[in-house]
């Protein structure tokens, strides 16, 4: 694509028009590929993404909506800031909780793609779901996980899935777990938590970006215990759409 800074106005207008047409008529996969190009097109491309989000605001967010939101969030221009604050003050994933937990800080960390901070915050939120004893000890018992509200687990999962282009999340880990016949020793290397006989060391050996293996995050380190992880991946939240 021609550099918009050096191209003539008719060229830029033609390029934006073609990109816009491809974006609106494309599949979700094609939209994901075109969003970076729209961002690189400057103000006109950002306006396309704002219009796209506005039209999608009443529907359940998909991966292209998530990436469009992140692109506008990270563009951090006065216009995109004003748009997001007025139209999506809490992000594009509904932050529903049965017990009044605030998931907005997690949404912000994930929108920024700060996966290490988001992982730490996810464990804090899981401990909040478990109650005061878990908050104090900073880790979970499997029996506490079994009692987690469905709505809250789905909110946590949706945040991770939507803001990782479908790569991270509890439901993603569950799908991989089922795919290996619930065999933990096959799952750990598949998601990058173990290499040979060696556990991946926290935090420096983990990959805190989208180059990580599918299902690599959220880690929330204490979830490595098989009973806790089994309770989490067997939770009724994943059988209810």
* pLDDT for residue 2 is more than 60: no
- Looking at residue 221, what is its pLDDT? 63
The CATH number of whichever domain residue 77 belongs to comes to 1.25.40.620
Contacts of 33 (CB under 8 A, 6+ apart): none
**Same domain, residue pair 213 and 111:** yes
Mean pLDDT over 213-229 rounds to 84
Q: Is residue 95 part of a domain?
A: no
Residue 198: helix, strand or coil by DSSP? Answer: strand
The answer on pLDDT for 8 being more than 80 is no
Q: Are residues 20 and 76 in the same domain?
A: yes
Q: Decide if pLDDT at 110 tops 50.
A: yes
Q: Are residues 113 and 228 in the same domain?
A: yes
CA distances 71 to 48, 50, 172, 195, Å, are 12, 10, 23, 34
pLDDT band of residue 222 (cuts 50, 70, 90) is low
Residues 83, 108 share a domain: no
Choose one of 87, 115, 145: the last residue of a domain. Answer: 87
Rounded to an integer, the average pLDDT of 63-80 is: 96
Domain end among 87, 118, 140: 87
Q: Do 122 and 110 touch, CB atoms closer than 8 A?
A: no
Among the candidates 87, 113, 147, a domain finishes at 87
User: Is the predicted pLDDT of residue 38 greater than 90, yes or no?
Assistant: yes
Does residue 93 sit within a domain? no
112 shares a domain with 40: no
Residue 234: give its domain's CATH number.
1.10.10.1770
Q: Are residues 149 and 226 in the same domain?
A: yes
- 112 and 211, same domain (yes or no): yes
> Phi-psi region for residue 152, left (φ > 0), alpha (ψ -120 to 50) or beta?
alpha
Q: How confident is the model at residue 13 (pLDDT cuts 50, 70, 90)?
A: confident
pLDDT at position 107 over 80: yes
Q: In this predicted model, what pLDDT tens digit does every residue of 75-102 receive, in sequence order?
A: 999 999 999 999 999 999 999 999 999 9
Domain that holds residue 36: 9-87
**Residues 135-190: pLDDT tens digits?**
999 999 999 999 999 999 999 999 999 999 999 999 999 999 999 999 999 999 99
Number of domains observed in the structure of the chain: 2
């Amino acid at each position: 694509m021609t550099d918009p800074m050096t191209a003539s106005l008719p060229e830029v207008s033609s390029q934006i028009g073609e990109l816009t047409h491809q974006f609106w008529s494309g599949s979700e996969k094609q939209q994901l590929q075109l969003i970076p190009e729209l961002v690189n097109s400057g103000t006109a491309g950002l306006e396309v993404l704002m219009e796209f989000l506005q039209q999608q605001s009443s529907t359940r967010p998909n991966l292209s909506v998530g990436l469009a939101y992140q692109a506008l969030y990270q563009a951090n221009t006065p216009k995109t800031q004003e748009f997001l604050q007025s139209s999506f003050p809490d992000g594009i994933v509904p932050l529903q909780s049965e017990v009044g937990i605030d998931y907005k800080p997690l949404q912000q960390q994930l929108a920024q793609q700060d996966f290490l901070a988001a992982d730490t915050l996810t464990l804090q939120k899981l401990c909040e779901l478990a109650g005061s004893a878990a908050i104090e000890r900073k880790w979970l018992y499997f029996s506490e996980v079994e009692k987690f509200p469905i709505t809250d687990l789905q909110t946590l999962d949706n945040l991770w899935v939507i803001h990782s282009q479908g790569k991270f999340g509890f439901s993603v880990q569950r799908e991989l777990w089922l795919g290996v016949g619930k065999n933990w020793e096959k799952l750990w290397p598949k998601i990058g938590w173990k290499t040979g006989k060696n556990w991946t060391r926290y935090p420096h050996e983990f990959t805190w970006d989208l180059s990580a293996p599918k299902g690599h995050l959220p880690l929330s380190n204490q979830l490595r215990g098989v009973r806790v992880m089994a309770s989490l991946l067997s939770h009724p939240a994943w059988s209810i759409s």
